[in-house]
Amino acid sequence: MQPRQRSRLVWAMLLLLWNFTLLLASHQVCLVFARIYDDCDPVSYAVFPASLPFDYATTLRNYTAASDGSWAQLAIQIDASGLWETHAFVRCGFDTANHADFNTSGTVQQVHAVPPRGLALTDTLQAGYVGYGVFQPYTIRAFQTPEYLTGSLFQSLVQANYIQGWQCNASTPAAWCQAPYAVGCSPSIHEFVDPGTYECTGDYGNLTHLERLLRNSTLSIDVLVVSQVDADWRKVLQNGTLDASALNVSVLFLGEDYEPTPLGRAEYVKLFGLLFGIPDQIKDQFRDIALNYEEAKSVAHSAASRPSVLYGYAYGSTFYFGSKYQATFLRDANAYYVFGENDEQLPSELAYCFTNGIQLGQPDSGVNFTLVGANSSHFWTGFSITTPTEKTVRQVLQNYTYAANWTAVVCDNLYDATKQTNPNPIFEQGVLRPDLVLRDQIRIFHPELEPGYTFNYYRKMQSSGPLFCPFASPVPSSQPGTHLEVLFVFQSIPRVFVDIQQTKLRALLANLVQVEPNHVYLWYPTNVTTWLDARMVGSASSPTSSPLVGTNNSVFMIAQLYSPAYRDLAVSLSQANVAAAIQQVLRDQGSMYTNTTVLTAATPSQTYVGGSGPASGLGTGALIGIIVGTFVGGVVLAAIGTFAFVETRYHKRKRAIWQ
C-alpha cells in the first residue's frame, strides 16, 4: 500500500472512531438524563398553563411551560446575594426520553413530580401555604417542630402522630439523634447531657432524625421544602451531609423571606399551586386576596391624618426594628414608620439602627431611641414577638423597663398580633391573608374608618393605671371660640426629626400665640393637596394654584389652635413670625437640624364659633348678629313709618270733617 493511501486510510479510521465516540457519548448522555418521574400521586393529571404571571413577587421569575402542558419551570431566588435556581415541575409519570423540549438549556437544578404524596416542611409559613393556601394539609408528613403548628386539624394530625417531627429532646431515642448534627450547630465534647437528650439541637432539629423520616416508605415523602432564612440548610444539602437525591426526594427552596412586600410573599402560594398541579385555581384565589388588600389600602389612605408608629422588639441585649416587610404593612395602613419611608435614603445614623438594632444598656441607647422616634411615636407594635403571653401594659414594661415614658405607653396605644397564642395562627395564616392583617392594622391606626371591626390577629394591651398622654386631643370644631388651622412645611429633614420635637413645638406655639398648650394640636395630613383644596372651595384662590411648588420630599404638619376668646389668632401668628421661630428652635437642636427650613404654606384658616370676632375679622356669630339686627331694625322702622302715615291721614280726615 502506498504511503499516501495508508495516510488516507488512517485518517478515515480516525474520523470513523471520532464519529463513533460522539455517537456513544450522545447515547450515554441520553441514558444519564433519561428518567421517569413517578415519585408522586399518579391519580392526578396536572396540566401546566402556557403563562403564569407573578405581579408582586420579585424572587419568582421566568416561568415557561411545554406546549402540551406536561412540564413547567420557574426561577427562584434562593439567597440574599442574588443566587437563583431553576426548578421544574413535571406531570406524574413524566418520561424525559419522550420530551426533547425539556431542560434544553441544562439549567434545571431540581425536578418535582406533581403532585407529591408527602412533604417535609421546615417552617410554619410553609404549613400555611400547604394547609390554607392549596388545601392539602394531609400531605404534610414531617415538620421540624410539630408543636408550633396551629389550627385544630394540624394539632389533631400531630397528636395522632400523622405529622412527625425531627427535633431531639428528652423523649427522643438517642440512636435517632447522632451525627450528622443539627443544622447550624457545633456539638460540644459531650453529645448527650442525659441519655436520650441531645445537647445541641440547633434551630432545625437533627439531620439523622430527618433522614430516618425521609427513608420511611410509609410516609412517602417526595419533597423537602426549605425556606432560605438560614444558609446552613443549603450548605448541608450541597456538601452531602444530607443527600436528598439519594433518597429520591427533591428539595424545593423558597425565597419568600426576601420579599419586601406582603403581597409579594403571599404570591408564593402560586408556587405551591404548581407543586400540586392546580396553578389556575390558586391564581384566581390569590387575585381575590390582592384585590381585597388594595381595597383596604385605599380605604386607609382616605383617613385625614397619618399617625406615627414604632415597630420593634427586644431579643437578648438588642432592640430590633423588623424588616421592610413589616414597614410595607405600616405604610399601606397609612401610618408613618421611620423605616418605611424610602429607607434606602435614610441618614446613616438611622440606616445603622435599622440594620443592627440598638444595643441595650449602652450609654447612647437613649439617644438612639430618640433618633428612631421610639419615645415619640403614637403607637407601638411588634413588642410581643419574644414574649407573646403579655396581656397588660405593666407586663410589657417588665421586659421593657426603659420604655415607661414612651408616648405610646403613656397614651395607652400598645397593640400586637397576639390575640391567639400557644400557638399563634398568624405565623401560618398571616402570610397568606395579608389583607386581613392590613385591616387589623387599619383598625388600630384609623378606628374611625371601621368602628365595628373585630380583630383577626391583633389585640390591645390592657391599661395598668392612670395615663398622662402628652398629645392633646383636638378641640371640637363646634366649641365656641376662635379656631385656626395653619400648614407648616419642613424641608431638608425627615419627619421623625420633627416628631421628636413635638413637645417643644407645641410649647413654642402656645407661647407665641398666647393660648393654652392643650389647645395646640399638631398632626400630619395624609394628602396635603386634598386638605388645601377643601379649604380653597369658595375662596378667591384656585385649587390649582397650589402653594406647594418646590416642596417635594418635604414634611407637612398642620397646627390646630383654639382660644375660648374671640381673638384674631391669624394676626398673632403673623406678628410673631412663627415659621421663623420654629426654624430657629429646630436648628438649635444640633447638627441634624442645621439645614432645616420651615415655611408657612398657605393663609391660615380661621373661624369664630358662637360669638362675634374682632373688627378685623368678623366670625360667623358676628355676621349672624348683623343680619338679624338689620332685619329686626328694618321691621321696627317700617312699623314706625306705617304708624306715622296712618296717623297723618287720620288727622287730615278729621280736619276735613270739622270743616
> Average pLDDT for residues 428-434, to the nearest whole number?
91
CA distance 385 to 401: 17
pLDDT band at 633 (very low <50, low <70, confident <90, very high): low
pLDDT of residue 550: 54
Percent of the chain with pLDDT over 70: 76
CA distance 34 to 24: 15
Phi-psi region for residue 610, left (φ > 0), alpha (ψ -120 to 50) or beta? left
Least confident of 188-192, 251-255, 642-646: 188-192
> Average pLDDT for residues 231-244, to the nearest whole number?
73
pLDDT tens digits for range 480-534:
999 999 999 999 888 989 999 988 999 999 999 999 988 999 999 999 888 888 7
Is the pLDDT score of 613 beyond 80?
no
Give every CB contact of residue 501 below 8 A, 6+ residues apart in sequence.
Answer: 585, 586, 589
CA distance 491 to 599: 8
Is the pLDDT score of 10 beyond 80?
no
> Average pLDDT for residues 539-554, to the nearest whole number?
53
Is the pLDDT score of 657 beyond 60?
no
pLDDT band at 198 (very low <50, low <70, confident <90, very high): very low
Q: Where are the domains of the chain?
A: 3-33, 60-276, 301-460, 481-609
Least confident of 2-11, 112-121, 344-353: 2-11
Higher-confidence position of 316 and 222: 222
Is the pLDDT score of 339 beyond 80?
yes
Question: Of the CATH numbers 2.60.40, 3.30.70, 1.10.533, 3.40.50, which one belongs to the domain with range 481-609?
Answer: 3.30.70
- The strand pairing partners of 560, in sequence order, are 485, 521
Is the pLDDT score of 555 beyond 50?
yes
173 secondary structure, DSSP code: -
pLDDT tens digits for range 145-171:
888 888 788 889 999 999 998 876 656
Q: Is 621 helix (H, G, I), strand (E, B) or coil?
A: helix
pLDDT of residue 399: 87
pLDDT band at 133 (very low <50, low <70, confident <90, very high): very high
Using an 8 Å Cβ cutoff, are 475 and 523 in contact? Answer: no
Q: What sign does the dihedral 354-360-362-367 (CA atoms) show?
A: positive
Global model pTM greater than 0.85: no
Domains 301-460 and 481-609 share a fold: no
pLDDT of residue 448: 93
pLDDT of residue 17: 53
Percent of the chain with pLDDT over 90: 42
pLDDT of residue 83: 87
Q: How many CB atoms lie within 10 A of CB 585?
A: 17
Task: Say which CATH topology domain 60-276 has.
Answer: Rossmann fold (3.40.50)
Is the pLDDT score of 645 beyond 90?
no
pLDDT of residue 195: 34
Query: Which residue type sits at 525?
Result: P
pLDDT band at 142 (very low <50, low <70, confident <90, very high): very high
Give every CB contact of residue 150 below 8 A, 6+ residues apart in sequence.
Answer: 124, 420, 423, 424, 425, 427, 428, 429
pLDDT of residue 14: 58
Using an 8 Å Cβ cutoff, are 249 and 214 in contact? Answer: yes
Is the pLDDT score of 297 beyond 90?
yes
pLDDT of residue 9: 59
pLDDT of residue 385: 76
> 301-460 in CATH: which number?
3.40.50
Least confident of 39-43, 187-191, 547-551, 570-574: 187-191
Compute the CA torsion angle 647, 650, 655, 656 (nearest 10 deg).
140
Higher-confidence position of 538 and 551: 551
- Mean pLDDT estimate for the chain: 80
CA distance 491 to 487: 13
Q: Which of 3-12, 278-287, 314-323, 527-536 reaches the highest mean pLDDT? A: 278-287
Is the pLDDT score of 200 beyond 70?
no
pLDDT band at 642 (very low <50, low <70, confident <90, very high): low
pLDDT tens digits for range 438-479:
999 999 999 999 888 999 999 999 887 766 777 768 889 899
pLDDT of residue 215: 92
pLDDT of residue 336: 93
pLDDT of residue 16: 53
Residue by residue, what is the 3-state secondary structure of 386-438? CCCCCCEHHHHHHHCHHHCCCHHHHCCCEEECCCCCCCCCHHHHCCCCHHHHH
pLDDT band at 11 (very low <50, low <70, confident <90, very high): low
pLDDT of residue 281: 95
CA distance 310 to 335: 10
Higher-confidence position of 420 and 181: 420
pLDDT of residue 420: 82
